[in-house]
Amino acid sequence: AVASPAIAQSAPEIKWRLASSFPKSLDTIYGGAEMMAKQVAEMTDNKFQIQVFAAGELVPGLQALDATSNGTVEMCHTVSYYYVGKDPTFAIYASVPFGLNARQQNSWWYQGGGEQLGNEFFKKFGVIGHPCGNTGTQMGGWFRKEIKTVADLSGLKMRIGGIAGQVLQKVGVVPQQLAGGDIYPSLEKGTIDAAEWVGPYDDQKLGFQKVAKYYYYPGFWEGGPTVHAFTNLEKYNALPKSYQAILTNACANANSWMAARYDMQNPAALKQLVAGGTQLRPFTNEVLDACLKATNELWAEISAKNADFKKSIDAMQAYRSDEYLWWQVAEYTFDSFMIRSRTRG
């Protein structure tokens, strides 16, 4: 792409529009884009302004990437696994079942070759991605009845989308695609039996605790999902180098900001949920083992017909093996002791 004359100067006035996939009410995940835009404005004395539009204001939330690809907007803030219908490879750079935790996902992207692989793939859709938020490990969702065995999942109607839905389908779940606002009434009426969303802070806002008693963990399909900012590649390439650097640094800052903010907000929400009667339940090893087996089967099936997917999933899995080899030594044993000593007061 060639820089347009209008922005050949070193600090031009630029106004961009960003389409978020999230409603304003989910202030932390939506807020990641606003935080990033605020940093860009402050770093440029308001010369580079990015106006953030909530899902539906310009385009529906799940069309944020298309609107960026085709230049309707310059940027979007979204989760790449929403676009597995175009290509399942998208999911790997956000989060896939039994993938990486948040810090490992960042390490893979920033230092382990993920950025090169990911942006090589995203280029096919005319965009460049920057991590711009992470939720940390999500919860496994809300269930109206207890799930102890794989047999308990049989025929269970669960709101869960994308590639995680495909995995759960292999163990008997009937995945349902529902927009955020439709989940609560469906759970209440019993049209669905279970639903996953994000974690305590966001889930509490949507009120799921009033219509489902059991709150399962961990959300093994989202160990540490990245929320990306995607920028139309031509628009990005036409920016002055200093603005590209400013955008990159603002996204990196927002990437940490979102995880830090969820980590601040989730404990209070969790305490309130439990005080209100929510029953926390871990997925049993039987369930987790069956889902891991289903996941590995699905990766083999997709890899057989999709070279991009194979390249990315193989790279991610090799990185994951090394990461957990190290993680289990210092990080995990530190956390283990801190958790054990905390409950002893």
| 25 or 242: CB nearest its own copies | 242
Tokens 């059991």 locate to: 214
Binding its own copies (rule: CB under 8 A), the pick from 118, 200, 227, 294 is: 200
Q: How far is the CB of 117 from its own copies (least distance, A)?
A: 14
Binding its own copies (rule: CB under 8 A), the pick from 119, 186, 248, 272 is: 248
| 248 or 306: CB nearest its own copies | 248
Query: What is the footprint of its own copies within residues 283-322 (CB under 8 A)?
Result: 285, 288-289, 292, 320-322
Which whole-number Å values give the CA distances from 145 to 16, 31, 192, 194, 307, in the listed order? 47, 34, 12, 8, 40
Binding status of residue 202 toward its own copies by CB under 8 A: no
Query: What is the footprint of its own copies within residues 253-282 (CB under 8 A)?
Result: 253, 255-257, 259-261, 263-264, 266-268, 270-271, 280, 282
Binding status of residue 252 toward its own copies by CB under 8 A: yes
Q: How many residues are present in the chain?
A: 345
Q: How far is the CB of 204 from its own copies (least distance, A)?
A: 13
Binding status of residue 212 toward its own copies by CB under 8 A: no
Binding status of residue 234 toward its own copies by CB under 8 A: no
Query: What is the footprint of its own copies within residues 98-137 (CB under 8 A)?
Result: 98, 101-104, 106-107, 109-112, 136-137
Type of residue numbered 167: V
Binding status of residue 74 toward its own copies by CB under 8 A: no
| 28 or 69: CB nearest its own copies | 28
Query: What is the footprint of its own copies within residues 147-166 (CB under 8 A)?
Result: none
**How many residues make contact with its own copies (CB under 8 A)?**
80
